[in-house]
Each structure stands twice: as C-alpha cells, then as structure tokens.
Structure 1
Amino acid sequence: MKVLEVVKLGEKLKQELRHSFLSNGRQESVAEHTWRVGLMAVLLTPYVQKEVDVAKLLKMIVIHDLVEAFAGDVPAFDTMHDAAAKEQKIEREMASIDRIRDMLGGALGEEVRALWLEFEHKETTEAKVGHALDKLEAQIQHNEADIETWLPIEHEMSFRMQPHVEFDETLTLFKELIEEEAEQKLTAAGIDTEPLKQRAKR
C-alpha cells in the first residue's frame, strides 16, 4: 500500500491549472476547485430533497479529480462537440484511476476506484449531487473572474447547467442564482444573452 505516494500525488493538483481565473486575476488550480466543491457539499446538502450520504459524497468529490494528476485537466468545452476527444479523455482517466487503485492496492484501492466510477456514472443521489456541484462551482468561478478571461463558448455554457440540476429543486434554485449573476456580467459587458439562451436550449 502506497498511501503516502498517493497523498503526494495530490500535490500535483495544486500545480495543475484549470481554464478558470480567480477574481484577483490568478489562474485557478484543480485543488482549489475541488476544495470549494467540497465546501458547497457541506453547505448545500442539508437542503437537498433526497437523503444524501455526505461522507460518501465528500469522498467522491476529493477523489474524482485525482485522476487529473496523471491525465491533466481537460475543459468541458474541449469535448462538448468532439466525440473523439471525449473518448480519449475517458480512456486517459480510466487508465489513471486504475493506476491509482494499483498504487493503493487491496480494499482501499478498489474502494477509491469504485467511488470514482460511481461519480462518473451519475446514477446515485450522491453522484448526481457531486456532478451538479462540480458544474455549479465552475460557473461561480467564471462569474467571479474578469469577463475578458471567458472564451466565447463559455458565454453560452453559462446557460447550460439545467440538465445537471433538474433532479433537485434546491440545486435548481441555486443554479438560477448563479445563472442570473452570469447574465448580469455578460450584459454589463455589452453581450446580448438572448441568443446564448436560445442556443443553450438546443
């Protein structure tokens, strides 16, 4: 069992940068994103309609980005309309979680891999909540960053969060607050949001 090695692997997530910027202009790390998704889980799960195993949810959140220590971070817009790129991402991440499982070995390695897969499949309540929070946090961070750091595709993506939250009323309401902030930011920058909303519905 190589727990210390996997803990040290987590340090790579402090170095791995996402396509998101902080309000002070610095680029965000994967570790920073993961931490705030965990914070959102603690603060929002008491209001989610279905019962949530918070300990399991937090495990999933901590684990799900760990594969990026090997596979790197791939922005959602890079695979959104590219089936080949999406398949390559899946293959790299599967190889990464298998590698992490083998590093840990035994029951712990299998548990970590199973939690990662559960998150990816988005079928259980915990996986659905974790996936929704992951998407919502990303948009919150965009809202906090300078609009000049946004790519044009991210203007439209601000209005594509509904499918991730529609299973829960609380998360839907939270999404609407985040979406409203995004719309205000885009409008203030002179960007017409109506065409973006229409394209997002397709």
Structure 2
Amino acid sequence: MFKTTTKARLDFLQAAEALKNVLRSGHTSTGRPESTAEHTWRLCLMALVFEDDLAGLDMLKVLKLCIVHDLAEAINGDIPAVAQVAPVFKREREQRDLLQLTEPLDAASRQTILSLWKEYDGAATPEARAVKAMDKLETILQHNQGDNPSDFDYAFNLGYGRQHTASHPLFAEIRELVDAGTRSRMNIERL
C-alpha cells in the first residue's frame, strides 16, 4: 500500500506543472513567450553561478526561495511587472493561490513551502533579499535578451526593482551591466 503523503505530493507536483504553461510578458531569444518555469530555472542558475560572490548566505535556502518565489502563479498566472500597480492585491492573490496549490500536501511540506514564500515576499532575510534582487535582474536580463514585440517597453527596465538591486555590491554591478543592455536595446529599437 502506498503512503498517503506520497500520493498527495505527486498530486501537488502535477498541479505545479502548470508553471511550464504560465507565460510571462518577456520573450525568449527565439521570440516565443517565456514561461514562469523557465524564469525560475534561470533564477536558480543565476544563484548558482554567483554563489562565490554571495559569501555568508545559506545557498540551500537561496535555491529553495528561488524555487518557490513564483510557485503561486501555477493557479492564476503571472501579473506582468508593468501591470503590478497594486502590490497588496498581488500579494493577497498569490498567498491565496499558494494555499490552494499546496492544499494536497501534508502539513509539514505545506508549511515549509508557505514559510519560504512568506520569507521571500517579505524580504525577511538576507537570502530573501538576495533572491528578490536576482529575480528582478533575471527579468531585466531576459527582457534585454528576448526577441520581444516591437512595442516592448524597454524603458520600464531602467526603474524596475531598483530598490532591491542596490542592496549588495554584486547586484549593483549586475544592475549596471543589465541597464547598459537595456539602453542598447532601446537605441536599436529606435533605428
């Protein structure tokens, strides 16, 4: 006989698969809309490749935060950054969606995911603040790299998430580079 928790965890994983189909406003380098799962993957990869510059952070915690930061989007999709005029609404919706998504899980697994998401959402720890910064930077990097529609608003990138990306010398350095990439894309698009 199979354990109830095993079946419940598989049910949760099947529901979370929806992130592969949640499309974001940015596009890949081939011009197709990027999925939330693809964004999450590269955010994890970003954390991994910059690990040596993040001394003092618990990298397992960083990777866990990366994995759960957009997990709630499996229920009602992504709210594009340019449309996030009411952060309180977004937070409430994501919390409600995450509660729904994690419903099949055993109490311990559910609490782990919910606690990680709350830590990220509230930027409650150095690890959560680092993931918030990298989340913004990865988004801008994708905007700059993507084959986006002709009306794509590259100027938005220049202010996006700035309050999060100034928190650490590494993020400030990356910010300078991605901002230069944004300006370059803006100049190309004007031609």
1:140 alignment partner in structure 2: 141
- How far 1:87 sits from its partner (Å)? 3.2
Deviation of residue 118 (structure 1)?
0.2
Kept after mapping to 1: 8 A contact 2:166/2:172: yes
State how far apart, in whole Å, the 2-side matches of 1:17 and 1:147 are. Answer: 13
Does residue 34 (structure 1) correspond to residue 35 (structure 2)? The answer is: no
Return the offset for 1:21.
Answer: 0.5
* Letter of the 2:50 counterpart: L
- The alpha carbon displacement at 1:100 in A equals 3.4
Letter in 1 for 2:63: L
Query: What is the DSSP-based 3-state SS (H/G/I as helix, E as strand, rest coil) of the residue aligned with 2:34?
Result: strand
Q: 1:158, 1:179 within 8 Å by CA — same for their partners in 2? A: yes
Do residues 13 (structure 1) and 23 (structure 2) align? no
Q: How many Å separate the matches in 2 of 1:87 and 1:171? A: 25
Unaligned runs of 5+ in 1: 192-202
Alignment of 1:46-65 (within 5 A): 46-48=52-54, 51-65=56-70
What's the offset of the Cα at 1:72?
A: 1.1
Q: TM-score w.r.t. structure 2 length?
A: 0.89
Write the distance in 1 (CA, Å) between the matches of 2:189 and 2:150: 12
Aligned positions of 1:1-202 closer than 5 A: 1=5, 2-48=8-54, 51-79=56-84, 82-83=85-86, 86-146=87-147, 148-149=149-150, 151-152=152-153, 154-190=154-190
Structure 2: 5+ residue stretches without partners: none
1:25, 1:114 → 2: CA distance? 36
Aligned partner letter, 2:143? H
Q: Is the 8 A contact 1:40 1:133 kept in 2?
A: yes
How far apart, in 2, do the equivalents of 1:150 and 1:44 lie? 33
Quote the Cα distance in structure 2 between the aligned partners of 1:55 and 1:149: 39
Pairs aligned (count): 185
- For the structure 1 residues 139 and 173, does the alpha-carbon distance in structure 2 shift closer, same or farther, using more than 3 Å as the test? same
Q: In the alignment, is the contact (CA less than 8 A) between 2:75 and 2:97 conserved in 1?
A: yes
CA-to-partner distance for each residue in 1:67-108, whole Å, 9 max, x for gaps?
1111211011112xx33xx33322221112222343212211
State the distance in 1 between where 2:186 and 2:57 align. 34
Alpha-carbon RMSD across the aligned residues, in angstroms, is: 1.8
Q: How far did 1:58 drift?
A: 0.7
SS state of the match for residue 52, structure 1?
Answer: coil
Deviation at 1:190, TM superposition (A): 2.4
Q: Which amino acid aligns with 2:188?
A: A
Q: Which residue identity lines up with residue 101 of structure 2 in the other structure?
A: I
TM-superposition CA deviations, 1:114-145 (whole Å, max 9, x none): 00000000121110011111111111111112
